[in-house]
Amino acid sequence: MKLTNRTILLTGGGNGIGRAIALELARRNNTVLICGRNLNTLDDTASASDNIYSYRCDISVSEDIEQLLAAAASDGHKIDTLINNAAISGHYTLAKDFDISIIRRDLGANLIGPIELTQRLLPILSQHHDPVIMMVNSPSCLLPVADIPFYSASKAGLHSYTWSLRKHLGKTMKVIEIFPPAVDTELVSKLKHKKMSVKTFIDQMFQQLDQGKNDIWIGESKIMRAAVALLPFKLIFNIINARRSDGGKWVEP
């Protein structure tokens, strides 16, 4: 698959992995439309390349998605590639009170938004001869990290949807799923665990994309995949969740 001279819609291009993907794609002579809630960080990414255009869009809000696609079309962009990268995460203790509204916010950003955006874009993507959809997922789609329960649940849902999507689309569209390990971004700033640099991650991700892979497992995410395949689920779940991911102990209610 050639990742050049495409028109790519990338969610969450203002920060972290999304920003680095945007810059690499722009360097490869693609037109990259980035979106997110914070126009300042998006514009900062866009200022680094003439090939990057920023659009404000909260993907958990249906009207925002409609407006994003209308604005991109009226600006003359014919999208042939979608990268669902944006996500949000948070630590919650389910047995204690927390702001219930975050459930819809997190599942909206991580699961419902990406699915809605994908479904709305399918007719547009299918007008091109080799359209591509990429999902930036997480190994937590296979094995829940219990103290980020809504993130884990939404990534499991996204993984399930991705497999169904592949079945529905057959050979008409390439659907790629990417599984980063812990990468040094704001999303995992509380995580007490060795993290891969964004640059190393991007180098390895694009190396596998250039090789034409559809399932891109990087670094420790490969170990997680192997452990889930080989070991009893309960055992590996308890090993992964022996301590909270921020290094703290579980707080009993």
Ligand X SMILES: NC(=O)c1ccc[n+]([C@@H]2O[C@H](COP(=O)([O-])OP(=O)(O)OC[C@H]3O[C@@H](n4cnc5c(N)ncnc54)[C@H](OP(=O)(O)O)[C@@H]3O)[C@@H](O)[C@H]2O)c1
Q: Give the binding site for ligand X (CB under 6 A).
A: 11-12, 14-18, 36-38, 41, 57-60, 85-88, 109, 136, 138, 180, 182-183, 185-188
Nearer to ligand X, 126 or 197 (CB): 197
Nearer to ligand X, 72 or 187 (CB): 187
Nearer to ligand X, 95 or 108 (CB): 108
> How many C-beta atoms surround the C-beta of residue 55 within 10 A?
22
User: Cα–Cα distances in Å, from 111 out to 27, 32, 118, 220, 248?
Assistant: 29, 22, 11, 23, 28
Nearer to ligand X, 56 or 128 (CB): 56
Residue at token pair 């707080």: 251
- 77 φ, ψ to 5°? -90, 130
User: Cα–Cα distances in Å, from 229 out to 73, 223, 226?
Assistant: 43, 10, 5
CB of 76 to ligand X, least distance (A): 23
Which of these, 55, 48, 50, lies nearest to 74 by C-alpha position? 55
Nearer to ligand X, 87 or 176 (CB): 87
Asked if 153 contacts 87 with a C-beta cutoff of 8 angstroms, the reply is no
CB of 143 to ligand X, least distance (A): 12
Q: Which residues pair with 21 in a beta bridge?
A: none
CB of 6 to ligand X, least distance (A): 20
Spatial CB neighbours of 12, under 8 Å, sequence gap ≥ 6? 18, 34, 35, 36, 85, 86, 87
In the complex, which residue's CB is closest to ligand X?
16
CB of 162 to ligand X, least distance (A): 12
CB of 155 to ligand X, least distance (A): 7
CB of 203 to ligand X, least distance (A): 15
Nearer to ligand X, 27 or 194 (CB): 194
Residue 58 belongs to what H/E stretch?
A: none
